[in-house]
Amino acid sequence: MCGIFACHHHPDVQKFKPTALRMAKAVRHRGPDWNSGAQPLVNDDASLALAVNGEIYNHRILRKNLKTKYNFKTHSDCEVVIPLYMEHGLDAPKHLDGMFSWVLWDKKQDRVVAARDPIGITSFYLGRSSTTPGAVYFASELKSLHPVCDNIIAFPPGHVYDSKSDTLTRYFEPTWWDPTNVPSTPVDYKVLRHSLEKAVRKRLMAEVPYGVLLSGGLDSSLVASIAQRETLRMQEATRKASKAELAASSELVGIDDENELSTVTTFQQLHSFSIGLPGAPDTAAALDVAKFLGTKHHAFTFTVEDGLNALSDVIYHLETYDVTTIRASTPMYLLSRKIKAMGVKMVLSGEGSDEIFGGYLYFHAAPNREEFHKETVRRVKNLHLADCLRANKSTSAWGLEARVPFLDKEFLETAMGVDPAEKMINKERIEKYIIRKAFDTSDEPDVEPYLPEKILWRQKEQFSDGVGYSWIDGLKDAAELHVTDEMMKNPKPEWGTDIPDTKEAYWYRTMFDEHFPPYCAGTVERWTPTWSKQTDPSGRAIATHNAKYDHVE
C-alpha cells in the first residue's frame, strides 16, 4: 500500500513544489515502501507516468494478453495500468480486477487520467482550489488536500476522470447497479460458495507475511476458513514439488479453472488476529474458530481508556465523524498497530457481507423483496464512505493493507444477482441465511466442515458491540463529560443542517473540526438504518438482537 498526492495544471509548479512534497508526506503512514523508490512508474520514453495505490489481482493475465509488447520495468502488479491505458485509453480501468486508486499523466497530450476501483476499497479524493482555478488535485486522504483545496469530494468509486473534458465518467456498470431492476435468479449455493472461495484465493497473491482479521463473527470466520484451506493446499503442493522444480522457479504459480493466475510466495502458518475488551463476546468466538481451523491466533485486549485515548488520532486518520464508523474503527486501529509490529503487512477482512446479504439487524423490518434489494444496493454503493473507509484507513494508519474478498467484482455479480426474496429474514431464516447455507456441509459427507455449527449460525454482533458492550457505554459516558446540554442546544453555525443528534455525535464532530476545516464535512456520510426509528446505530439497540430462530434452537 502507499499514498498518493498529485496535482495537474498548477500555475506555478516550482513555487508549489515544497507544498506538494509536504502534502505527500501527510500520507506517508500508508506505506513508505515506494515513496522514494519505483513510483511513479514510467514507460520507456517517460511520456506516461503513473502513481498508484492498490493491488491488481489479474495483472499476470493482463500482461499475457497485451496486444503490443510492453517493456515492464518492475514486478509490480500495478504497472500493467500503463500498457492498458496505451491500448484502451479511458476504458483501461474496466479491465482491472482489484482494489486501486491511480493517477496517470500523459505527457504528449498533457492529459491526466485518474480512476478508483468499482466499490472504493482504497480511499481517494479529488480537490480544487479557488486560488488556483484550472488546477485539479488528487490524494489518498483528505489531510493531503485540505491545506491547499477549499472544494473536496470523495472520488466516486467505479469512475474515471479525464482532464481533457474535466469530467468524471462511470466505467463500472454491473447488472445490479439499477436498484429497480430486481433480480429473480434463485440462489445456487454451490456457485455462491465457489465464488467466494475464488475471491479469497485471488487475495492470497502476496509476497509479504499475511494474516486474517478474525472477529468470531460469520464473515471474518468464513474468510479465515477459506484462507486456511488455501494456505494448507498450497503448503501441500509445495511439499510435493521436487527440489528441481522449486529451484527452477522463484515462486509457485497456481492457475485456476478460469485461467486466472494467482501467486503465493509465502506458505506460512496462517495467523489470525482479534481484539476486544476482557470477556468480549467476539473474542471467545474468535478463539473457538481459530482452534477449529488451526490458525496461529493472537487475541489482543484493550481497555475503554485505551480506546478513549486514541479517539482523536482515530478521527484524524479516519477523516469522519460518523458514530458507527468511529466506534468500530477504534478497536481496528488499535489492533492494526499490534499486527504491523509483528511484521505482518497484509490482512484479509470480512467487510461487505452485511451490505450484500442484508445482514444488519434492521433488515428484519424490510417490507418486501423490492425494498430489501434497493437497500442492499444503496449500502454497497455507500461502502466507500463507511466500512471500506474504516477498513482501509484503520489499517493504513500503520502501513498495513486490508483486502476484502466479499467485495470481489465477480462475487458481487453472483451475490447481488440472487433474488432478494432468498435473502429476506423471517422465522425460518436468520440474517445472511444464504451465505451461511452455502457453507453448511452437513449434507456433504465428503466435505470437511468450514466452521463449527455454532459459529456458522451465530447471530450477528455489530463489530463495535462484539468487542465488548462496555466500549459503547464508555464512549457515551465520556461524551456526557465533554458535551453539555447547553452545547447541544447551540450547535456551531458552520454545521448548517448537519446537526449531531446525540452528545456522542457532537463530541466526534468537534474533534473532527480540530483536524479539518468545515468544507471537508461534505465527504462524510452518517450511518443510519432504514425502516427504523432507532437513533443509536448499535446492533443491540434493535429489538431483534438476541431473538430466537426456530431452525437454530
Q: Cα–chain-centroid distance for residue 155?
A: 15
Of the three residues 127, 142, 170, the one that is the final residue of a domain is 170
Task: Please tell me whether residues 289 and 347 are part of one structural domain.
Answer: yes
Residue 465 labeled ligand binder? no
User: Do the domain assignments include residue 434?
Assistant: yes
Task: Please tell me whether residues 129 and 210 are part of one structural domain.
Answer: no
Give the position of cell 497530450: 109
Nearest to 542 by CA among 364, 412, 386: 364
Of the three residues 111, 142, 170, the one that is the final residue of a domain is 170
Q: Which of 2, 7, 78, 149 is catalytic?
A: 2
Choice between 49 and 247, residue whose per-residue pLDDT is larger:
49
Nearest to 220 by CA among 208, 228, 231: 228
Task: Please tell me whether residues 196 and 109 are part of one structural domain.
Answer: no
Residue 67 sits in a domain whose CATH number is 3.60.20.10
Range name among 104-113, 198-207, 348-357 with the lowest pLDDT average = 198-207
Residue 289 sits in a domain whose CATH number is 3.40.50.620
Residue 144 labeled ligand binder? no
Q: What is the dihedral of CA 132, 135, 140, 143, to 10 degrees?
A: 0
Residue 350 labeled ligand binder? yes
Has 2 been annotated as catalytic?
A: yes
Task: Please tell me whether residues 146 and 195 are part of one structural domain.
Answer: no
Label each residue of 269-309 as H, E or C.
Answer: CCEEEEEECCCCHHHHHHHHHHHHHCCEEEEEECCHHHHHH
How far apart are alpha carbons 264 and 538 in whole angstroms? 38
Task: Please tell me whether residues 91 and 199 are part of one structural domain.
Answer: no
**How much is the pLDDT for 252?**
43
Task: Please tell me whether residues 164 and 239 are part of one structural domain.
Answer: no
How far apart are alpha carbons 50 and 81 in whole angstroms? 8
Q: What is the pLDDT of residues 410-460, one digit of tens each?
A: 999 999 999 999 999 999 999 999 999 999 999 999 999 999 999 999 876
Residue 44 labeled ligand binder? no
Task: Please tell me whether residues 280 and 343 are part of one structural domain.
Answer: yes
User: Do the domain assignments include residue 553?
Assistant: no
**Widest CA span in the chain:** 76
Give the position of cell 475471491: 199
Name residue 488's amino acid.
M
User: Do the domain assignments include residue 101?
Assistant: yes
Name residue 266's amino acid.
T
**How much is the pLDDT for 242?**
57
Mean pLDDT of 138-154: 98
Task: Please tell me whether residues 392 and 488 are part of one structural domain.
Answer: yes
**How much is the pLDDT for 141?**
98
Task: Please tell me whether residues 253 and 117 are part of one structural domain.
Answer: no
User: Do the domain assignments include residue 183?
Assistant: no
Task: Please tell me whether residues 258 and 354 are part of one structural domain.
Answer: yes
**How much is the pLDDT for 279?**
87
How far apart are alpha carbons 308 and 305 in whole angstroms? 5
User: Do the domain assignments include residue 346?
Assistant: yes
Burial class (CB in 10 A: 0-12, 13-18, 19+), 134: exposed
Radius of gyration of the chain (CA): 23
Confidence (pTM): 0.93
**How much is the pLDDT for 551?**
36
Q: What is the pLDDT of residues 43-102, one digit of tens each?
A: 999 999 999 999 999 999 999 999 999 999 998 999 999 999 999 999 999 999 999 999
Residue 349 labeled ligand binder? yes
| pLDDT over 70 percentage in the chain | 89
- What is the span of the domain harbouring residue 391? 189-541
Q: Is the peptide bond before 40 cis (omega within 30 degrees of 0)?
A: yes
User: Do the domain assignments include residue 21?
Assistant: yes
Q: What is the pLDDT of residues 528-552, one digit of tens each?
A: 889 987 666 555 555 655 553 333 3
Mean pLDDT of 293-303: 97
Choice between 273 and 240, residue whose per-residue pLDDT is larger:
273
Task: Please tell me whether residues 528 and 489 are part of one structural domain.
Answer: yes
Name residue 85's amino acid.
Y
User: Do the domain assignments include residue 179?
Assistant: no
Q: Is 491 left (phi over 0), alpha (psi -120 to 50) or beta?
A: beta
Task: Please tell me whether residues 439 and 486 are part of one structural domain.
Answer: yes
User: Do the domain assignments include residue 164?
Assistant: yes
Task: Give every CB contact of residue 112 below 8 A, 6+ residues apart in sequence.
Answer: 6, 8, 103, 104, 105, 106, 136, 161, 162, 163
Mean pLDDT of 166-176: 98
Nine-digit cell at 178? 439499477
What is the domain count for the chain? 2
Q: What is the pLDDT of residues 463-518, one digit of tens each?
A: 446 676 799 999 999 999 999 999 999 999 999 999 999 999 999 999 999 999 99
